[in-house]
Structure 1
Amino acid sequence: MKNGRVGEKGWNFEANDVLANAAKVTIRGTLETIMSNIDCGETRSTISLCLGDPSVYPCFHTTPIAEDAVVSALRSSQYNGYAPVGGVLSARRAIAEYLSHDLPYKLSPDDVFVTVGCGQSTHIALSVLARPGANILLPRPGYSYYEARAAFSGVEVRHFNLIPERNWEVDLDVVESLADEKTIAMVLINPGNPCGNVFTYQHLAKVAETAKKLGILIIADEVYGYLTFGSNPFVPMGVFGSVVPVLTLGSISKRWIVPGWRCGWLVTSDPNGILKETKIVDGIKNYLTISSNPVTFVQGAIPQILGSTGEDFFNKTIDILRQAADICVERIKEIDCITCPCKPEGSMSFMVKLDVSRLVDILDDVDFCCKLAKEESVLIIPGSSVRFKNWLRITFAVEPSSLEDGLQRLKSFCQRHAKK
């Protein structure tokens, strides 16, 4: 036996190398590398400023209404079997009503497909759209999961820029220059991950007109929908569904602070029926026949979760996020080698620029984050993992005292490595 081979023929199988390459560009893959630098002898607790999962902190707790809804659905014994393709009807109806509140048209349950979180929605959308030679336009910086899923689906990725000097608006000139007859879609994340921006109505209208001109659909990632605390209100991309067909992706993960419940949706925001004509809807249904659904009792709880949660709960979460964002902006001002071009106005993370020329023994943003983890037990994602080298992605969905501690450690690290 040599190199795992047996006899003359050897084994006929090996791992798909696309997976190995895709994993390298994901946030989770990057985090594994960063975490490997943690000093096991460190007595201080590790502070994570890298993942949008605030559920570990007592100040971020889902509403009892959501918990009671799940318990009630589970104990009803009505949701112990398999869910229908597309999801439980009552859940689809509730999601349609929830998303229709801010649209100029009404969604139908037939427009809604319940998914295993927003991640599966992404996978479905890219799988259905994939065809030989196709390419998709992704934002830079962006959420690297799209790039990984596109690679696995055999779809070429082309990046358009978000412009920090213009509050991370889309560079529409670049979008037009990148697109060709094989471009299938562009991804828009609003509120922004990783930038913390919130697009204005006027800018979204321009994006919609550009996509229409290019003949492509928009994949609108709105998993952070309504988590805004700046001057710009959240505007669903579906508002422009009559201009350009939109696949809206979302979930209860962020707004209800339950990412582990894994219940999301993929919605065809398309009053003109273009996605039906082009067989995209059929493709989604076909995909779901070979896939799995979220657990049925969580789906059974969706009508109560979406319909009965009061504004007080949402306002409390937004107030904490606003306070945390303010803390970040003020503390970053105290660090010479890091600058914040735009104050975050939504979601749970934002981007800051790292000036490595001001530091000693720091090669780039990846080296910075690895050494920060080793010396201070603070976890931050390097901008390279979201295609923005020598920037940092900081998550502020953290309990304020822990956030203060983490940013103080970040400041100490930068002062220790500062050029004299």
Structure 2
Amino acid sequence: MPNSTERERERELSMENGGSAAARWRFEGNERLILAGGVTVRGVLNTVIGNLDGNDTRPVIPLGHGDPSAFPSFRTSPFAEDAVCSAVRSTKFNGYSSTVGIPAARSAVAEYLSKDLPYKLSPDDVFLTIGCTQALEAVVTVLARPGANLLLPRPGFPYYEARAGFCSLEFRHFDLLPEQDWEVDLASVEALADENTVAMVIINPGNPCGNVFKYEHLKKVAETARKLGILVISDEVYDHLTFGSNPFVPMGVFASIAPILTLGSISKRWIVPGWRLGWLVTNDPDGILTKQGIVDSIKGFLNISADPATFMQGAVPQILENTPSDFFQKIVSTLRETADICYERSKEIPCITCPSRPEGSMFAMVKLNLSLLEGIEDDMDFCCKLAKEESVILLPGFAVGLKNWLRVTFAIEPSSLDDGFLRIKAFHQRHAKKQ
């Protein structure tokens, strides 16, 4: 039992810790983390979802997500599931991995990507990551030297801005042109770049626009990068999810013009975003990335980072090599059907306009015409009131860089997508400005 002197000292300490002496604590939160995470797709969607009316008995129609794995039409291949089970049961993948990935998995990814390239990748060109997100984190961190700046697409994927902000890497936005099937405004890229610009990012197939860049346009992107002396970061997480007139062309095809860092994963094509297996690949036949220290910096980042689960790496060769083509054909066919529904139904709603038919990924951007509506302030207000009145979730465009636009996900059951657009149409009619 403490004596009276000890109890008195405890009371004094307690009063100090709760009063003016609390400033003695020498730790505090990281403000840069708070700022970096201020606007995220998930955060904005959570705000929209918070407006749902719990008394509405209709099913919620989620048209703002990027994860269709819960829907029956978008289930992964049993061959992929079997590969994971086999890797776990083999007991060969219970230990730590190399920080850059196990050799068999790196070889399998190199082989998989080389099928679309005019040259053959080496396993040493491949670095395995915890999904495409960690690949993105690695690239941004590697490039974040003092004074450097990074060119990002608008609209785009806001995690690039968040990560760059956290790393104190300046970012500047170039526009994608909706009237030209969301091609890169290359003139704005050249105008934005200066002697401190290190790289530009493209996302192909496009999130959030649903576009697929043509071969000729990608070549111009590479030529612009070469002219500016920068590398191209090509986010290809939606590779081969194309269903229009333009086939998927990997940016690595043009690596002899400018060095390319390719980011990808099994998340989208195999509909398994929760499996968290991605890659960062150096497309660099001239060895420029090695000479400039980028490769060693990538290895350094991975040496101080977590690794993807070893059993997932063990499953990768079987997943990439043995998944039957009819699985991919089914997914692409379903996306083609739902993309067409999205495009055609948007024409029936006066307050939204889809500038071009989606040809890839799982999204479309539609422009919101507020002049046709009463009582709607902006895209966020539109989405919050739509959620409350119709139990439909859309992502407001400001979250991806375009205010008063909307990102619509069409990776959902066709009947649900149809129902969703009927509800959006009813919402428009209810809020239409009186003539």
What TM-score results when the alignment is normalised by the length of structure 1? 0.98
Shift in Å at residue 415 of structure 1? 1.0
Q: Which residue of 2 aligns with 1:263?
A: 277
Indicate if the aligned counterparts of 1:24 and 1:30 stay in contact, CA closer than 8 A: no
How many angstroms apart in 1 are the aligned matches of 2:123 and 2:432? 57
**Alignment of 1:362 onto 2:376:** yes
Shift in Å at residue 8 of structure 1? 5.7
How many angstroms apart in 2 are the aligned matches of 1:5 and 1:226? 61
**Alignment of 1:230 onto 2:230:** no
How many angstroms apart in 1 are the aligned matches of 2:293 and 2:252? 19
Gap runs ≥5 in structure 2: 1-14
How many angstroms apart in 2 are the aligned matches of 1:13 and 1:195? 43
**Alignment of 1:138 onto 2:152:** yes
Indicate if the aligned counterparts of 1:192 and 1:198 stay in contact, CA closer than 8 A: yes
Shift in Å at residue 72 of structure 1? 0.4
Indicate if the aligned counterparts of 2:16 and 2:22 stay in contact, CA closer than 8 A: no
Deviates more, 1:284-293 or 1:9-18: 9-18
Q: Cα–Cα, structure 1 residues 130 and 4, in superposed 2: closer, same or farther, change >3 Å? A: farther
Shift in Å at residue 28 of structure 1? 1.1
Q: Cα–Cα, structure 1 residues 311 and 133, in superposed 2: closer, same or farther, change >3 Å? A: same
State the aligned residue count: 420
Q: Which residue of 1 aligns with 2:4?
A: none
The equivalent position to 1:7 in structure 2, one of 21, 29, 33, is: 21
How many angstroms apart in 2 are the aligned matches of 1:317 and 1:308? 16
**Alignment of 1:337 onto 2:351:** yes
How many angstroms apart in 2 are the aligned matches of 1:273 and 1:416? 60
Q: Cα–Cα, structure 1 residues 238 and 4, in superposed 2: closer, same or farther, change >3 Å? A: farther
Q: Which residue of 2 aligns with 1:23?
A: 37
Alpha carbon RMSD of aligned pairs, Å? 1.3
SS of the residue 2:72 aligns to: coil
Gap runs ≥5 in structure 1: none
Structure 1 runs (4+) greater than 4 angstroms displaced: 1-6
**Alignment of 1:199 onto 2:210:** no
How many angstroms apart in 1 are the aligned matches of 2:56 and 2:31? 36
Identity, in percent, stands at: 65
Deviates more, 1:359-368 or 1:20-29: 20-29
How many angstroms apart in 1 are the aligned matches of 2:17 and 2:269? 49
Q: Which residue of 2 aligns with 1:375?
A: 389
The equivalent position to 2:87 in structure 1, one of 70, 73, 77, is: 73
Shift in Å at residue 10 of structure 1? 3.0
How many angstroms apart in 2 are the aligned matches of 1:2 and 1:181? 53
SS of the residue 1:161 aligns to: strand
Deviates more, 1:275-284 or 1:22-31: 22-31
How many angstroms apart in 2 are the aligned matches of 1:370 and 1:163? 27
Shift in Å at residue 88 of structure 1? 1.1
What is the CA deviation profile of residues 23-63 of structure 1, one whole-angstrom value per residue up to 9, with x for unaligned ones? 22221121121111112222122111111211110111111
Q: Cα–Cα, structure 1 residues 4 and 222, in superposed 2: closer, same or farther, change >3 Å? A: farther
**Alignment of 1:395 onto 2:409:** yes
Indicate if the aligned counterparts of 1:25 and 1:147 stay in contact, CA closer than 8 A: no
Q: Cα–Cα, structure 1 residues 322 and 5, in superposed 2: closer, same or farther, change >3 Å? A: farther
Q: Which residue of 2 aligns with 1:50?
A: 64
Q: Which residue of 2 aligns with 1:104?
A: 118
**Alignment of 1:291 onto 2:305:** yes
Indicate if the aligned counterparts of 2:37 and 2:162 stay in contact, CA closer than 8 A: yes
Q: Which residue of 1 aligns with 2:3?
A: none
Max Rg structure? 2
How many angstroms apart in 1 are the aligned matches of 2:86 and 2:401? 44
Q: Which residue of 2 aligns with 1:407?
A: 421
Q: Which residue of 1 aligns with 2:199?
A: 185
Shift in Å at residue 21 of structure 1? 2.0
SS of the residue 1:218 aligns to: strand
How many angstroms apart in 2 are the aligned matches of 1:4 and 1:186? 50
How many angstroms apart in 1 are the aligned matches of 2:65 and 2:254? 31
Shift in Å at residue 202 of structure 1? 0.2
Q: Cα–Cα, structure 1 residues 82 and 254, in superposed 2: closer, same or farther, change >3 Å? A: same
SS of the residue 1:299 aligns to: helix
The equivalent position to 1:150 in structure 2, one of 125, 141, 164, is: 164
The equivalent position to 1:209 in structure 2, one of 223, 234, 252, is: 223
**Alignment of 1:310 onto 2:324:** yes
How many angstroms apart in 2 are the aligned matches of 1:24 and 1:140? 18
How many angstroms apart in 2 are the aligned matches of 1:184 and 1:135? 6
Deviates more, 1:47-56 or 1:72-81: 47-56
Letter in 1 for 2:320: L
Letter in 2 for 1:412: A
What TM-score results when the alignment is normalised by the length of structure 2? 0.95
Q: Cα–Cα, structure 1 residues 60 and 2, in superposed 2: closer, same or farther, change >3 Å? A: farther
